[in-house]
Every structure is written in C-alpha cells, then in structure tokens.
Amino acid sequence: MAKRIDVSGLNAYYGSFLAIEDISMTVEPRSVTAFIGPSGCGKSTFLRTLNRMHEVTPGGRVEGKVMLDDENLYGAGIDPVAVRREVGMVFQRPNPFPTMSVYDNVAAGLRLNGKFKKSELDDVVEKSLKGANLWNEVKDRLNKPGSGLSGGQQQRLCIARAIAVEPNVLLMDEPCSALDPISTLAIEDLIGELKERFTIVIVTHNMQQAARVSDRTAFFNLAAVGQPGKLIEIDETERIFSNPSVQATEDYISGRFG
Amino acid sequence: MSHATLSPKRGGTLRGATLPKWFPWAVAVGSIAAGLGISAAAGLGSSIQWALIAAVLFVLGSYAISARIEGRRQAKDRVATSLVWVAFILAVIPLASLVWETVKRGVQVLDGYFLTHSMGVVADTEPGGGIYHAILGTLEQVGLATLFSVPIGVLTAIYLVEYGRGRLAKAVTFFVDVMTGIPSIVAGLFVLSLWVLILDMGPSGLAGAFALCILMIPVVVRSTEEMLKLVPNELREASLALGVPKWRTILKVVLPTSVGGIITGVMLAIARITGETAPVLLLVWGTDFINANPFKDPQESLPMYIYLQYSAGSDPAYDRAWAAALTLIAFIMILNLLARGIARWKAPKTGR
C-alpha cells in the first residue's frame, strides 16, 4: 500500500508570492517523516502540495515535480480528486462533519465517492475506527453526532475517516497542536502503528514529538519574513537531533534561534 | 508592585453602596405616575405626551438617584440600561398595537364560513362572503414564485460562494444588489410590459408569480450566500482531502451543514412576497370568483383583497378587510415559526 514520494525542484506560490522555493526530497514508504521549522516557513504549504490541496486556496499554484512511486502528481492529465484518494490528510483542528454521525463521518470518504454496500461499509468503519484506536470508545454511540466527541476523540475520528479510503500516504498537519498531552500520546502511539501500513508525513511545532515519532526529519527555514521558505536539510531523526550538518538546524533545535 | 500603589489610593474596599433590585421598577412606576399627574394638571390630552414625560423622568430619575447613592459609574450604567429599555418599548408599541388592533377587528367575521367561501355573489356593501378565492390565489402565486426563485437563487448563491471568481461574480453580485432595491411596482411594470403587452398574454396568477420572482430571487441569493459563507472552510478541505469531488462536497457537506439557514432565508423571502400588492394588482387583476387555475384568467390574492375591500368603503367590507389582514398575518407568522422549527431541527448537532 505505502508508496514513496519523490519531490524535485518544487516551488509553490500564493498569487505572485513565492511561498516555498526549490524543494527536493524523498519520503520513504512505511516510515514517518517529520517537518519542523519556524512558523511561516512553508511546512504546511509544502505538505499541501503533496496531495494537490495547495491549489484549493485561491491563487495557489505549484511548479515542479512530485513523484508518487512512478507517477508525477503534477503531470498532464492527472485528476486532483484521484490524487487525494491516494494521499489522505489530517488537519490541525479536528474537523468532523457536523451534520454526520460518528459512523457517517468514517464512511463519508467511501459513501461520497459512491461506494455503497451496507455490510461492506460496516466492515470498513469498524476496521478504520479500530485502526484509529477509537473503536472501544465509540462503538456504542456510532449514531451520535461526531461533533459530540472530545477533541482528542474527534481528531482520531478524523484519522479514521482519512484511513477509511485506504490511501497510500497520510499527511498530518500539526495533528496534535489542539490536543492535551494524553490525547497527543494516543495519537503518537497511533502514528507508530499506522506507519506499518502507510507512508506518513507529519508537520509539527513540537520538536520532542518529531524526535519521538519520526524516522526522518526535515528542517525548513526562511531567510526573512517575505522571503520564500526553503528546505535546509533532511536526515535520519537521530542525526538531526544529535549532530545536524547545518548550523541553523542545530540553532533551531537547541532553541538558540528566534 | 502596581497593586501596592493602587490599593491604598482606592481606600482598600471592594464593597460599594448598591441600590436594591426593585429600584428600576420603582423609578418606572414613579415616573409613570408623575407623567400622568403632570399631564392631568396641565390638561394634556394625548397619551404620547405623558408617556414621553414619563420616559424622560425615568432616565433622569435613575441617573440622579443612582449617582447620589452608588456613584457616577453605576449611574451611567443605569442610564444606558434605561435608554435600552425605553428604545425597546418604543419599538414594541407599534408592533403590539398593530397585532392588537388587527386581532380585535379581524375576529369579528373570521370563521370557517369566511375561510371557505368566495365573494362570488356578495356585493361589497352586504355582509357575508369570504376569502377562499384569495387564499387559493395567494398560495398558488407564492407557490409558483417560490418554485421558480428558490432553485435560481440557491444555485446563484452556490456559484458566487463556491465557484465565482473575477468579473462575472462581481457583476452578478452587483445586479443582485440592484435587484434588491427594485420597488415592487417596477417589477410588476416590467412583467406587464414583457409578458402582457409584448407577448400578449392575459392577466394570470403566473404573471404575478413572475413579478414576485423578481422580488424574491435577490433575497434568496443574499441569505443563502451568507449561510454558505458561514460553513467553515475546514469542512470543505476535509471533504476534498478525502478525494471527494467538489460538486459532491458542495452537495453532501456544504449544503447539509447550512440547510437550516437556507430554509429560514427562503421562508423569510416567502413571507416578504406574500404581502406584495402592487405587482399582483397590475398582473393578476383580481376577481370575486374562485379561479383555481393560476395559468389563465384573473385570480385574487390576500393583500389585493384587503386593498379592494378597504376601498369599497362599506362597514361589512371593512370587517372583511380586517379579517383578511388577520389571516395574512397569521399565515406569515406560521411560516416564520415553521422556518424557526426547521432551522432548529436541521442545525448541526452538538449534543453528546
């Protein structure tokens, strides 16, 4: 299921503003890659270019190549909707659909795409909720509104919703920043389990979190406000946190920076 | 260190003199009594005069007493509160008196017979007759207008919020704004010149419905637009990120989330056009007989019935006009209540 992502020479714009410049990196399958860096350096923008969500923002535009195994996501004739089924996404703030029950939220991806057999859906919902470590907490209230769950449960519901469509890659944009430490721990454990099946990319502001969950870490930075963000380095997480090859990375990680 | 310098200056107490809870009521009763007394002494006849005196006394009185006992800040607070109350009462008086007057005069002839019979063989000067034909006409004309305007209005709003970028969207917004300001008589004249004079169609409920459409569409567009804008972008992104196409996202996520508000907007738009008289007068003409076919021949409608009965000028006609007005108000009220009910029923649920 999991696929490799190979990015080369990627620029992303908001209108005429160049937000991230010339990014090239490889994301290994069945591993967790963390993006760290100061606010505004383009981590989230870059993440959103990986499933063509960047162009949903008015004025959003991308140049360069993103290879998912051997297919260029920005090649001619590629359907962004199909890309997003392959590359799922979990957002910063938990955003379950307010009109839907817990069950419908998880089934949303399949149901909204037209796949429609009750017994099949039941299986997928159960499997996804189990996969998101949420099944035991919600199995008695599948028909209650999803927005009635706690913040941490809602975020795991969103993860269940994302993995229900069986993507190859799971992108997470600061998935724990709105959660308390216990919910965060639950999600971090979950990430550890999910990497057996998916390629995971996670943006985080919490460096301990990056150190805990990721196999590889990429450090992004920008020269000044108004300048495009750049990839400074990407390496094994252990090396980034113990012996990075660039001084700026070490400054950022040790807190000597901004 | 800041509170070390502050607290001695303040005298070190958090307690101040407070007037009792019944204070505003006492001042209100006192000022009304004083207002009545002054106007009786000065021989002023109008109730507006004593009410104004009482209102002024109420505001001044609460300020003066409170300033003496509680201090200036609390006194200002009381003035603001009493001004709000006075404004509220001023706003409610016309509404309450309108409802009171309509109910009082309307119930005289309003009964089952009145609701189920037309004016077919009843002269304007005789008692009897009813509004069945007018209710039928209003329901059909408003129904047709709703049938045409809701799809057009809602789809326009979806275009403006979800797809519209650039010049076309700006132009559409501009024309919707312009349409909002069209007087109803102008909408009626427009349909009259196009439908009746150029295309040579006769008066009918349908022609009236066209004019009502022109009035209704901008209201529906505006309210639907506002409701769609309230749907958080995160929900759209969540759906798109699941690989759901944009049109399905709009259909299955955006619209269900906002459907309560959209229905409320539509109901309010219906309530607005139900009371329109001018275009109906021009295009539907009015009749004393029951005409259930909105596509041919003149029909009646409630506002037009009220207008015609009132201009007939006899006492039984006045009574009928009031009863019809009461029916119209009740109809619109029921629509509003329905709208609220639906909005509450369809609102995104937060319960555990």
- Read off the CATH number of the domain in which A247 is found: 3.40.50.300
Q: Given an 8 Å threshold on Cβ–Cβ distance, is B243 in contact with A148?
A: no
- Report yes or no: B9 at the A interface, CB cutoff 8 Å: no
Give the residue from B23, B95, B103 showing the smallest Cα distance to B64. Answer: B23
The answer on B176 and B302 residing in a single domain is yes
Give the span between the Cα atoms of A45 and A53, in whole angstroms: 9
- Report yes or no: B165 at the A interface, CB cutoff 8 Å: yes
Give the span between the Cα atoms of A25 and A216, in whole angstroms: 11
- Report yes or no: B169 at the A interface, CB cutoff 8 Å: no
The pLDDT confidence band at residue B2, using thresholds 50, 70 and 90, is very low
The total of other beta-carbon atoms located within 10 Å of residue A189's CB is 12
Specify the DSSP element, H or E, that contains B320.
helix B315-346
Residue pLDDT, tens place only, B57-89 = 888 888 888 888 888 888 888 889 888 988 898
pLDDT at B340 over 90: no
Q: Residue A258 carries which side chain, given as an amino acid letter?
A: G
- Report yes or no: B141 at the A interface, CB cutoff 8 Å: no
Q: Which domain holds residue B220?
A: 132-346
DSSP B245: -
Give the span between the Cα atoms of A52 and A60, in whole angstroms: 10
Give the residue from A152, A212, A202 showing the smallest Cα distance to A182. Answer: A152
Residue B1 confidence (pLDDT): 43
Q: Given an 8 Å threshold on Cβ–Cβ distance, is B249 in contact with A53?
A: no
Query: Which chain A residue has its CA at the smallest distance from B163's CA?
Result: A58
Residue A257 confidence (pLDDT): 66
Does a structural domain hold residue A133? no
Residue pLDDT, tens place only, B260-288 = 889 989 998 998 899 999 999 999 988 88
The answer on B322 and B174 residing in a single domain is yes
pLDDT at B147 over 80: yes
The answer on B220 and B82 residing in a single domain is no
The answer on B220 and B317 residing in a single domain is yes
Give the residue from A217, A215, A167 showing the smallest Cα distance to A51. Answer: A167
Q: What is the ipTM of this complex?
A: 0.89
Give the span between the Cα atoms of B160 and B274, in whole angstroms: 27
Give the span between the Cα atoms of A154 and A145, in whole angstroms: 11
Q: Which residue reads 């408003």 in tokens?
A: B142
The mean pLDDT value of chain B amounts to 88
Residue B39 confidence (pLDDT): 82
The answer on B177 and B28 residing in a single domain is no
pLDDT at B10 over 70: no
The C-alpha angle with vertex B170 and arms to B166 and B174, in degrees rounded to 5, equals 175
The answer on B335 and B195 residing in a single domain is yes
Q: How far is residue A141 from each of residues A119, A158, B5, measured CA to CA in Å?
A: 18, 16, 57
The total of other beta-carbon atoms located within 10 Å of residue B253's CB is 24
Mean pLDDT of B94-107: 93
Does a structural domain hold residue B215? yes
Q: Given an 8 Å threshold on Cβ–Cβ distance, is A84 in contact with B235?
A: no
Residue B157 confidence (pLDDT): 96
Angle (deg, nearest 10), helices B205-230 and B132-158:
40
- Name which of A97, A145, A165 is nearest B235 (Cβ-Cβ): A97
The pLDDT confidence band at residue B3, using thresholds 50, 70 and 90, is very low
How many domains does chain B fold into? 2
Give the span between the Cα atoms of B111 and B23, in whole angstroms: 47
Mean pLDDT of B194-215: 91
Query: Which chain B residue has its CA at the smallest distance from A83's CA?
Result: B243
Cα separation of the two ends of chain A: 40
| Contact of A89 with B241, CB cutoff 8 Å | yes
Phi, psi of B316 (to 5 degrees): -60, -35
Q: Residue B318 carries which side chain, given as an amino acid letter?
A: Y
Does a structural domain hold residue A52? yes
Give contacts of B253 with chain A, Cβ < 8 Å: 97, 99, 108, 112
Radius of gyration of chain A (CA): 18
Give the span between the Cα atoms of A220 and A229, in whole angstroms: 7
For chains A and B, CB pairs below 8 A equal: 90
Does a structural domain hold residue B194? yes
pTM above 0.90, yes or no: no
Phi, psi of A88 (to 5 degrees): -85, 170
Residue pLDDT, tens place only, B216-240 = 999 999 999 999 999 999 999 999 9
The answer on B174 and B99 residing in a single domain is no
Residue B46 confidence (pLDDT): 74
Q: Which domain holds residue A216?
A: 5-95+171-254
Radius of gyration of chain B (CA): 28
Residue pLDDT, tens place only, B169-189 = 999 999 999 999 999 999 999
Give the span between the Cα atoms of B234 and B232, in whole angstroms: 5
SS3 content of chain A, % helix, strand, coil (to 5): 40, 25, 35
Residue pLDDT, tens place only, A79-120 = 999 999 999 999 999 999 988 999 999 999 888 777 678 888
Mean pLDDT of B228-253: 92
Does a structural domain hold residue B307? yes
Residue B63 confidence (pLDDT): 87
Does a structural domain hold residue A111? no
Q: State both tokens at B158.
A: 């979806």
Query: Which chain A residue has its CA at the smallest distance from B250's CA?
Result: A112
Residue B11 confidence (pLDDT): 53
| Contacts of B315-320 spanning 24+ positions with Cβ under 8 A | B316/B109, B316/B124, B316/B125, B316/B126, B316/B127, B316/B128, B317/B124, B317/B125, B318/B105, B319/B105, B319/B108, B319/B109, B319/B127, B320/B109, B320/B114, B320/B129, B320/B131
Does a structural domain hold residue A9? yes
The answer on B76 and B143 residing in a single domain is no
* Domain final residue pick, B106, B140, B161: B106
Q: Given an 8 Å threshold on Cβ–Cβ distance, is B243 in contact with A85?
A: yes
Does a structural domain hold residue B113? no
Interface test with A, best of B230, B344, B349, B350 (most A CBs within 10 A): B349
- Report yes or no: B232 at the A interface, CB cutoff 8 Å: yes
Interface test with B, best of A112, A124, A128, A161 (most B CBs within 10 A): A112
Does a structural domain hold residue A122? no
How many domains does chain A fold into? 1
DSSP lists the bridge partners of residue A90 as A172
**Residues of chain A scoring pLDDT < 50:** none
CATH number at residue B268: 1.10.3720.10
